[in-house]
Amino acid sequence: MSNTDSLKELQLLVADFVKRRDWTKYHTVKNLTMSISIEAAELMELFQWFTNKEATDKIQSDPALKAKLEDELADVMIYCLSLSYHTTIDLSKIIREKLARNEKRFPIEVVSGRLGPYSS
């Protein structure tokens, strides 16, 4: 597979990996949602004591930290792909739909450069 694999292709790749190891019985909605959260927390842990600038600089200058970030990010995505597979959710479709809703929810002319809540 190439770097341009579709989400569906990656979803099937993950499903095959899980199936060949007889782990499907463990890939329940509850377990997968918990695993996503746990792995996301491991992402946060990498930068727990850094300022924003330090975190950004470290990623550019520390190959070992960047490798850890890549591993944890891959773990989050793998669990997301597995959850979407087991719940028959089309990730491409829901991401496009969510972005379309967010286009309306956060109009550029209102939110550009702003952080935080606003009145529509």
Tokens of 23: 């782990």
Domain count along the chain: 1
pTM for the model stands at 0.87
Asked whether residue 80 is domain-assigned, the answer is yes
Asked whether residue 32 is domain-assigned, the answer is yes
Asked whether residue 70 is domain-assigned, the answer is yes
Q: Note the pLDDT tens digit of each residue in 1-58.
A: 555 569 999 999 999 999 999 999 999 999 999 999 999 999 999 999 999 999 999 9
pLDDT band (50, 70, 90) for residue 114: confident
Mean pLDDT of 73-93: 96
Which residues span the domain enclosing 30?
Answer: 7-108
Asked whether residue 116 is domain-assigned, the answer is no
DSSP for 57-105 reads HHHHH-HHHHHHHHHHHHHHHHHHHHHHHHTT--HHHHHHHHHHHHHHH
Using CA atoms, how far residue 5 sits from 47, 55, 63, 82, in Å, is 29, 29, 25, 16
Asked whether residue 118 is domain-assigned, the answer is no
Question: What CATH number is associated with residue 71?
Answer: 1.10.287.1080
